[in-house]
Each structure stands twice: as structure tokens, then as C-alpha cells.
């Protein structure tokens, strides 16, 4: 999973004030209203996916993509409400943003055993420890968000480290959500930082098809090299004749 929220070089003070005063009306209410209804459908799919994974060991890909798109929408909304980005968050699961991006590789299989363990004991070994850590982290995020609000208001700048920390809080919570909704078997790390293995996984998958596509091209090119060889041999007498014609002139 890779969550990217762009840190802007400068932030709009006007948009900051507009979100603060009227954000509840034109951002919070419409998005939360729609997210709640779409979330009901996502919950139904999650329940059905539990049984599918339990019996087949695979999460239906179309359902998986829907869940990831819904989380992407939620991240766009959260990033705007927290003043991490300017602009209005796009509506819908198919909405996009050039400042907020969530990508996740589709897993080839999901462990049936882990599904049962998470269902029975997830509250103990996942929700409880991560919930306690996130509770304190969210307190720190709240303080930084208030300080960043004044920073943007007076300077138009959101301190880079504060931005990275608050984005990390969203990323950490998202990892827990992905694990508890059976979208991944990887236990969430106790950190909000970007992980190298998360960034490397999609790249490895993207390179694999390229190697297969280039292989036939090299095989087809081999006969062309062989056919070109006689042409070089035929050209040799021509060079000798040319040399013999030029020799008297040289003398």
C-alpha cells in the first residue's frame, strides 16, 4: 500500500479560512452523507468477501478494487478537512486527485487461517495495541494541525515535518483498516512512515511483463542477422573490383 499526499510549496490562506468557516457545509456534510451510503455497500461486500476468502482463499478482484477506491475517496476527504492539501476533494469511488493518491497491489491469495484469527482475536492483537498508539498519535496530530493552521494563515506555509507526521497518522490508521478488512495479510507496522517494501512491490510487478514482451523480439531478430551475412559476402568482390580499378590511377 502506498499513500501519497503532496506537500505544497504554498497554501491558500483564502481556502483555509473558507474551509474553516464553511467547510462543514460544503465539504463535510455532502461527502460524509455519500460516504455513509457507499460505506453500507462496502460493508456488505466485506461480509460476503469474508466467506469467499474463507472457502476459496481469494478476495474477488472487483470487490477489492472497489474497497481501495472507496478508501481513496476517504483519504481525499480527510486530507482536505485536515488542511493537508488545497482544492475540493472529488466525489465518488472513481474520483481522482493530483495531490492525494492511494495505490495497492491486488493480493494473489489471502490466508484463510489469518482471516479466522483476525475475526476471533483481531480486537486483542490488532485493534487494542494499535488503537492505544494511534490515540496518542492523533492527539499529537491535533496539536500540530492547530499550529499548522496558524502557520498557513500567517505565512502560507505548512511546515514540512508537521505535514509528514500528520500524513503518517492517516497512513498508519489506513494500514490497520486494510488488515482488519482482509485486504492484506501483512500485519500493520507500528509506524506512519513510508516503508520500502510497500514502494518496491508495485514496481516489481510492473517490470515482469516487460521482460516477457522483449523475449520474442530478440528471437525474431536472429534470422534477420543470418540473412544479412550473405549480403556482406556478396559485397566483397565489388570492393576488390573497385580496388583493382583504382590501382592504375594510384601508380
Residue-level pLDDT, tens digit, the chain, 251 residues: 999 999 999 999 999 999 999 999 999 999 999 999 999 999 999 999 999 999 999 999 999 999 999 999 999 999 999 999 999 999 999 999 999 999 999 999 999 999 999 999 999 999 999 999 999 999 999 999 999 999 999 999 999 999 999 999 999 999 999 999 999 999 999 999 988 766 544 433 333 344 444 444 444 444 444 444 444 444 444 444 444 444 444 43
Which pLDDT score is estimated for 201?
Answer: 46
Q: Please, are residues 118 and 128 in contact by the beta-carbon 8 Å criterion?
A: no
Give the burial string for 20-58 (b: 16+ CB within 10 Å, else e): eeebeeebeeebeeebeebeeebeebbeebbebbeeeeb
Which pLDDT score is estimated for 195?
Answer: 85
What is the value of pTM for the model shown?
Answer: 0.76
Which pLDDT score is estimated for 245?
Answer: 40
Which pLDDT score is estimated for 243?
Answer: 43
Which pLDDT score is estimated for 250?
Answer: 41
The C-alpha atoms of residue 92 and residue 78 are separated, in whole angstroms, by: 14
Closest CA to 159 of 147, 168, 170, 171: 147
Which pLDDT score is estimated for 232?
Answer: 43
Which pLDDT score is estimated for 151?
Answer: 97
Continuous H helices in the chain: 13-23, 29-56, 61-81, 112-122, 128-155, 160-180, 196-250
Amino acid at each position: 500500500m502506498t499513500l501519497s499526499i503532496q506537500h505544497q510549496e504554498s497554501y491558500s490562506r483564502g481556502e483555509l479560512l473558507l474551509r474553516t468557516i464553511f467547510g462543514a457545509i460544503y465539504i463535510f456534510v455532502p461527502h460524509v452523507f455519500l460516504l455513509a451510503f457507499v460505506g453500507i455497500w462496502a460493508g456488505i461486500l466485506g461480509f460476503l468477501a469474508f466467506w469467499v476468502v474463507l472457502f476459496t482463499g481469494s478476495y474477488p478482484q472487483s470487490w477489492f478494487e472497489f474497497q481501495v477506491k472507496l478508501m481513496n475517496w476517504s483519504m481525499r476527504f480527510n486530507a482536505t478537512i485536515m488542511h493537508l492539501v488545497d482544492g475540493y476533494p472529488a466525489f465518488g469511488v472513481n474520483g481522482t486527485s493530483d495531490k492525494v493518491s492511494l495505490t495497492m497491489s491486488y493480493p494473489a491469495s489471502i490466508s484463510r487461517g489469518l482471516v479466522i484469527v483476525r475475526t476471533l482475536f483481531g480486537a486483542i492483537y490488532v485493534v487494542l495495541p494499535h488503537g492505544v498508539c494511534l490515540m496518542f498519535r492523533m492527539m499529537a496530530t491535533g496539536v500540530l494541525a492547530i499550529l499548522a493552521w496558524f502557520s498557513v494563515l500567517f505565512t502560507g506555509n505548512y511546515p514540512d515535518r508537521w505535514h509528514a507526521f500528520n500524513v503518517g497518522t492517516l497512513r498508519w490508521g489506513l494500514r490497520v483498516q486494510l488488515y482488519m478488512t482482509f485486504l492484506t495479510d501483512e500485519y500493520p507496522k507500528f509506524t506512519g512512515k513510508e516503508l520500502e517494501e510497500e514502494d518496491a512491490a508495485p514496481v516489481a510487478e510492473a517490470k515482469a511483463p516487460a521482460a516477457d514482451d522483449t523475449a520474442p523480439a530478440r528471437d525474431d531478430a536472429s534470422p534477420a542477422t543470418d540473412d544479412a551475412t550473405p549480403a556482406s559476402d556478396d559485397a566483397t568482390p565489388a570492393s576488390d573490383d573497385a580496388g583493382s580499378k583504382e590501382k592504375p590511377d594510384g601508380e
